[in-house]
Amino acid sequence: MSDPNNPKIHVGKAASVLIDELGIDPLTILKRADLPSGLLQGDGSRISLDAYYRLLTAVTDEADDPHLALKLGDASGIDYFDPAFFAAMCSPNMNVAAQRMADYKRRVSPFRLDVRTGDRDTTIVFRAAGGHALHPTQSLTEIVFLVNFMRRATRQRIVPNSVAFPFNPPDLAAYEAHFGCVILRKSAATVTVHAQDAALPFVTHNDEIWALFEPQLRRDSPISRKSPLTTRARVAHCLNEFLPSGRASVEDVARELAMSKRTLQRRLAEDGTTWLEALNDAREALAKHYLTTTDFGATQISFLLGFEDPNSFYRAFRRWEGASPEHWRNQTRMQPHKSGIGTDGGHIGTSRE
């Protein structure tokens, strides 16, 4: 667990990728921040809060872009593979996801989310532990990320009740347009959303995939090379998100995970599975999810799972469960303790460092 009196932050490949995508030379940033040139190489390093803020200041100054936080907070998730982000995406709604994020941050970083849920709204406050100040770029980025996260997971343009910062963002109009509300001045970076928006179901809800991430995210230290997330888990989340949008090829997933098709297949083999098995597992999990939580017919579900036609889906489902989709749905709904994905049971914990 992070020591609030001497906080450390892990920086590594994700920071290097983000800096590079901003069109900035990482070595220039590190020199400007008076940090070692090899800081972001390999598994990265843990640095002091002061050094981390120097790094943020160097990126902010070098980018010289008032919309920097909008770019940094536009989390594509898979591009900068963050297991905690993926795990939170598996939550049933934002209330659960925010609590999982708060739990994870509390365990592994000097930053925290204070989450308050009520009958009228849900409020999330971003703070630094131990009374430390926050970097303005980080505060902006975190709130942009949270709003984008809700929109991505629900596939709806959620407009917050309010957003607040202890400073005026650069190009205030652009940030207000992004959030869809007036930005207030408060002592901490805060976002408040309607209770019904915080309870909207995530289209990416998947307890089986959550169960793959949760044991590692429960640990009191960040995921490291000693406990790498498996390729199987990474592929499972990609498919969980890609299948409903029609992107279900091995090429699509390999591209998102920044590896070749051959490398992806080899790593799946090392995990004791194959591409076809991973695809079938994801389709089966999503099929059960749709059958349990929606009234979609087999034709609709077949389309969402990327099958060529409903008959292919029928045959596949009979192989998985030994019954037709409708029969399985009726039997499952008669059993009150079986609901959602992952009737084997999911657990709790998570989020983004």
Predicted confidence pLDDT, tens digits, the chain (353 residues): 445 556 788 887 778 878 887 889 989 999 999 999 888 877 678 888 899 999 999 999 999 999 999 988 875 444 444 666 777 888 899 999 999 888 888 777 888 899 999 999 999 999 987 778 899 999 999 999 999 999 988 999 999 999 999 999 999 999 999 999 999 999 999 999 999 999 999 988 877 767 666 665 665 444 443 445 678 888 887 787 777 766 678 888 888 777 888 999 998 998 889 999 999 888 888 888 888 877 788 888 888 888 888 899 999 999 999 999 999 988 887 764 433 333 222 222 223 33
Beta-bridge partners for 296: none
| Nearest-angstrom CA–CA distance, 278 and 276 | 5
CA Rg value for the chain = 21
Report the distance separating Cα 84 and Cα 82, nearest Å. Answer: 6
pTM: 0.63
Torsional sign, CA 102, 226, 56, 21: negative
Other CB atoms within 10 A of residue 219 CB? 13
Tokens for 181? 């509300």
User: What is the distance between the alpha carbons of residues 53 and 252, in angstroms, rounded to a whole number?
Assistant: 36
Count Cβ neighbours within 10 Å for each residue of 61-88 and write b for 16 or more, e otherwise. ebbeeebbbbebbebebbebbbbbbbbb
225-249: pLDDT as tens digits = 344 567 888 888 778 777 776 667 8
